[in-house]
Amino acid sequence: MKNFKNATLCLVLILAAVYNLQAQEDQKILITIDPESDGPQISRHIFGQFAEHLGRGIYEGVWVGPASAIPNTRGIRNDVVEALRELNVPNVRWPGGCFADEYHWRDGIGTQDERMARINASWAGRPEPNTFGTHEYFDFLKQIGANAFISANVGSGTVKEAADWLEYLTAEGSSLALERSRNGHPDPYPVAFWGIGNESWGCGGPLTAEEYLTELKKFSNFSTNYNPALNTRHIAVGPDGADFAEYTEVIMNAWSTKSWAWNIGGISLHRYTRNGWPPNIPASGFDNQQYANVLAETVGMDSFISENEKIMNRYDPEGNVAIFVDEWGTWYAPTEGTDPGSLEQENTIRDAIVAALNFNIFVRHAERVRGANIAQMINVLQSLIITKEEEMILTPTYHAFRLYVPFQQARRLSLAYNSGIYAEGNVELQRLDAIAAKQENGHIILALTNLDPVRSVTVEVMMKDRMLKQATGETLSAPFMDSQNTFENPEQVKPQVLNPRMQNGKAEITLKPHSVTVILLN
């Protein structure tokens, strides 16, 4: 009898668990958007890119040379340019990364025969031919319609070298401007952002915060933009996600009492999702717990930004100095069969979720976060594009960027919803993550991310004090939580058109597991 009672109790508990799970699946989440809330503008620069001389990021990814059989324009891949145009890329950070602090710009100008071949000491001693240099970079930017974000060499360079580079780029009438003209570009180049060093606490130094501050003042003072068509903003080095928090404190304290001789427009933050060092998370073939662990570390970006915001608010309550998260993304174990030093990794629907979560965090901090750059654009880390000779595939991360294009320069709106819970082992996260914004034309956009890799979720969307008339959108989902696009199956993960059901002034949408959805509401 006792065994019978125990068996009956177990059955009841199992049925209750199944019932609760079903109830959670069937329960609708109501999202209410306030269309009149007046949030900050979402800078398009939070959707920036990062292209470093690392592995196959530049060579094979962007540059194949004008003599290549791969279709190109002046050596730059046509297929890559066409894909990037779809993203309305706001800026591309170049030439690094760690490579920036060993890069000497004169090595990469003049005819190809005049270029100085080097060894890339930052990335496993690989040859660096410098066939892709300053002029090729600006040609690439023009082809994709992006702004320049240049990282100047503070670590192994000099103040004069950096000052000469910016004069070469932006001046008219000087000897350096005439040299630029002889090299094929008579008009000054527009430089939107001038990064003063990179990770100066590590591969770009290593310097203490006080030591870096001394360099920052000098480089800022003497790095002059001579092109009045565009105000170049200086970006200082800040901390990474684990250490060197004192950088923000030291720099902002000095900035608050600075003289006229130097200034900055932003502080750089770096934070990767990598679950420790060295990175060993599998990029594919992972289990439910590994999936959850990656998302849990990703959402830690929110508290990292908040900690730095608090420091900056003490010294700069008006928000003059922006945060630029100019390195972020997943960093996994390298793809089997590739050179580990090239940092190539597979890209799955999980990475699209990571991208969406980061976008949403940046938007929630739009008052201070006005720039961000994913690491990296092509063939490296959480890349948007992967190339193999003449072939190219678009990753799930690329599609996440494309879905979020409507948020560029829109105004953040307030919204209210009960996100629900997604739990796996000792990880507990919100099940649904959402942001909303209003475009200049008055259209409202809503981004919805279902973190749960197993359960779908149905949401009802309504406007405060208004009736919805129409809703259209796209959703990015996949058969499995590690589904990816490959050269054999390049479209396994791609957005699908979604037409929400309209009823009583509300839009009803069912979100598939591990999915990213963007809806346009009228």
Q: Which residues form the catalytic set?
A: 199, 327
Ramachandran angles phi, psi of 234, nearest 5°: -85, 130
Q: Which residue has the tokens 């998370």?
A: 281
Q: How far is CA 129 from the centre of its chain?
A: 28
Rounded to the nearest angstrom, the gap between the alpha carbon of residue 476 and the centroid of all alpha carbons in its chain is 18
Q: State whether residue 184 is helix, strand or coil.
A: coil
Contacts of 20 (CB under 8 A, 6+ apart): none
3-state SS class at 237: strand
Can you tell me the distance from the alpha carbon of 135 to that of 180, in angstroms, rounded to the nearest whole number?
9
- C-alpha pair distances (Å), 329 with each of 28, 67, 127, 455: 31, 34, 26, 25
Strand partners, 77: 72
Two structure tokens written together for 231: 């105000």
Q: Write the DSSP assignment of 445-500 as a string of letters.
A: EEEEEE--SS--EEEEEEETTB----EEEEEE--SSTT-B--SSSTTSS--EEE-P
The DSSP element (H or E) to which 252 belongs, if any, is helix 246-256
> In 3D, which of 121, 131, 118, 115 has the Cα closest to residue 59?
131
Query: What whole-number distance in Å separates Cα of residue 300 and Cα of residue 171?
Result: 43
Task: Quote the CA–CA distance of 490 and 484 in Å, as a whole number.
Answer: 8
Beta strands at 501-503 and 506-511: parallel, antiparallel or unpaired: antiparallel
How far is it, in rounded angstroms, from Cα 410 to Cα 396? 23
In the DSSP assignment, the letter for residue 70 is S
